[in-house]
Chains A and B, each alone.
Chain A
Amino acid sequence: MKKEILVMKDIVKVYHMGDEEQQILKHINFNVWENEFVSILGPSGSGKSTMMNIIGCLDVQTSGDYLLSGQNVSELNEVELARIRNKEIGFVFQQFQLLPRLSALENVELPLIYSKVPPRKRKEMAENILEKVGLKDKMKHYPNQLSGGQQQRVAIGRAIVTQPTILLADEPTGALDQKTGHQVMDLFKDLHKEGRTIIMITHDEEIAKNAQRIVRLLDGNLSEEVKTDV
């Protein structure tokens, strides 16, 4: 019996645009089990980003319950939320979001600084991760000396270096060409095989099919669930 690590019950998110009230997420129920690879598929404006922000503890729902590893996120204060983001979530962004003035190694070390890992241990962990994502010889390179695919690998390395509960990827191949996109997807699949739980948000059906399970988000409603063969 696999453990439920993410439980969303009746999640509603309302934004206020001036006088208007806009319901972005409408009573979402969504569960993720340990070692699942799930795609959240939806066109732009469907509420994907809001969904991701809530899953990533960057935003808090208007109503409903969100439990991450058994903790009710809406009850946490800002300091505890920062700790959760550091320990439980590994973010991968479409635009990589590497800090340009830090080397690949230093970028990967960044989240470890915030979890107060001592410098020597930090370096060792980051080196191991970069070796794992195939960038052993690019550790001292700066982001502008790396290709898009390599930058995204660094970003993935940064996301997994803290051994988070969930790897949360937002359009991870959106800024890459098809070939490098495939390579990045292969890396995700490898990580999944190793036992990681991955949630990927995308608008691309083909990319979404890399996951075990696809959920569709349309106008704030989470509709069907499609099992893929993976």
Chain B
Amino acid sequence: MFRESIIMSWKNIIHNKMRSFLTILGIVIGVAAIIALITIVQGVIDNVDEQFDKLGANTLIIQASGTPLKSGLNDYDIEALKNIEGITGIGPNVSLNMDIWYNGVIYENINIQGRNDIYFNKFADRIRSGRGINVLDVENKNNVCVISSDFEQKLFPGENGVNKTISIGGIEYVIVGVLGNDDNVVSVTTMMSADDEDIMIPYKNLMNISGMKNIVSLELYTREDANKEIVTQTVKTVLNAAFNYKDDSYILIEMDSLLDVMKTTQQMMKGMLVGIASISLVVGGIGIMNMMLVSVTERTTEIGLRKALGAQPRSIQLQFMIEAIFLSVLGGFVGIVIGGLISYIASNAIGIKLALEPSAVLLGFGFSAAVGIIFGSAPARKASKLNPIDALRSV
């Protein structure tokens, strides 16, 4: 019975090729739009998330402006933060604008950042050539620096800057490494301070130069499996103790919760886009309903004959239901293929990974089948209720 109905449906669809094609077009467009939107948006989200994960995941940012009596965190506070269970390291971020000399030319007001070895361990893949600042550099206050590739090109056009010497604030520094020119990779703290990072030196050197005793800005790196809430709570306790429970003495930013907020927003955006695309599925469903109603009228005689031959009303209903579902699922299938193709082309064009999810494909199939069931049931019911005498008389 079921098999016969499917074969019959197929024959009818083939017989009315043009009409069937136009009927399923709405479903095809709807499903293709849903698949393409989900896939492309997901691809973009994945891309953004990946960048953020690389830089911001498992990171706490502290901006400790402190109190009038005590600005920033001293060595004792830093030590206390370092000893918190779940913290793997601390990356201070000291920043100062100074003049650079090279080959008799002065470059004024260049942003110098003070960093430590832990920062360079975490972002080891930022170094394009040479090396990062290591623990000995920090402890011995070595006069070494890492520069951005933009700055390298400014100072030594067409040349490699590694092992060259520049003068920072009158002191000779050897360039040990050059950063990669990756636009996407921006340190979270520099992103927030909106400074260009041109030169990095061991942070203790910079503190000496500037005369700073305490650290205002730093990143705390947490272990992947650490309980973030407890770590955050402990960090707050340490900071509160450091600043005598003064209000507004520090800002603590949890990158993970920022990421969570961002991801929630992304999911909402995705849901909204899918919702908009679903409207075309409803339109497509009405198209199918229209075609099925026409089909029932056209095949009145056939329905009458089938009833005369002993078809139960249920069988007639089933047959027309199957035709409607068959049409819409066919549309869904074509839509998935086209949507996948669009996603593939778009992903390549934008330069993101193709994120075709099985759930999107299932959603496309599910939606199209649901449309078939919802919009096919009324015509099918109408067919099953036809009076066989009237149906046969209409010859």
Contact = CB atoms under 8 A, between A and B. Distances in A.
Interface string B293-312: 00000000110011111111
B315 A58 contact: no
Interface stretch (A22-30, A83-91, A191-199): A83-91
A132 B313 CA distance: 31
Interface in A148-178: 158, 162
A99 interface: yes
B308 A58 contact: yes
Contact of A116 (B1, B11, B395): B1
A97 B310 contact: no
A79 B315 CA distance: 11
A173 B309 CA distance: 20
A102 B299 CA distance: 14
B15 interface: yes
27 contacts: A53-B389, A58-B307, A58-B388, A58-B392, A59-B389, A79-B313, A82-B310, A82-B313, A83-B310, A85-B307, A85-B308, A85-B309, A89-B308, A91-B308, A93-B305, A95-B395, A97-B301, A97-B392, A99-B302, A101-B12, A110-B309, A113-B1, A113-B4, A114-B306, A114-B310, A114-B315, A115-B310
Given A97-B305, A114-B309, 8 more contacts: A58-B307, A82-B307, A82-B313, A86-B309, A86-B310, A91-B309, A101-B12, A114-B315
A95 B395 CA distance: 8
B311 A58 contact: no
Interface of B: 1, 3-4, 8, 11-12, 15, 301-302, 305-315, 388-389, 392-393, 395
B318 to A, nearest CB: 12
A215 to B, nearest CB: 22
A47 interface: no
A78 interface: yes
Contacts of B395: 95, 97
B301 A114 contact: no
Interface of A: 49, 53, 56, 58-59, 78-79, 82-83, 85-87, 89, 91, 93, 95, 97, 99, 101-102, 110-111, 113-116, 119, 158, 162
A79 B314 CA distance: 9
A115 B309 CA distance: 10
Q: Nearest 4 CB-CB pairs, A to B?
A: A86-B310, A114-B310, A111-B309, A101-B11
Contacts of A110: 306, 309
B295 to A, nearest CB: 13
A53 B315 CA distance: 21
Contact of A114 (B12, B311, B389, B393): B311
Contacts of A114: 306, 309-312, 315
Nearest to A59: B389
A89 B307 CA distance: 12
Contacts of A91: 308-309
A78 B314 CA distance: 11
Contacts of B307: 58, 82, 85
Contacts, number: 62
Contacts of A83: 310, 312
Nearest to B391: A58
A91 B391 CA distance: 15
Nearest to B299: A99
Contacts of B312: 79, 82-83, 114
A79 B384 CA distance: 12
Nearest to B384: A78
B15 A85 contact: no
A56 B310 CA distance: 11
A119 B305 CA distance: 21
A110 to B, nearest CB: 6
Contacts of B301: 97
A101 B15 contact: yes
Nearest to A110: B309
A78 B11 CA distance: 29
Interface core residue of B11, B12, B312, B395 (most chain A CB under 10 Å): B312
A99 B12 CA distance: 11
Contact of A85 (B8, B310, B313): B310
A82 B311 contact: yes
A36 B302 CA distance: 30
Nearest to A93: B392
Nearest to B315: A114
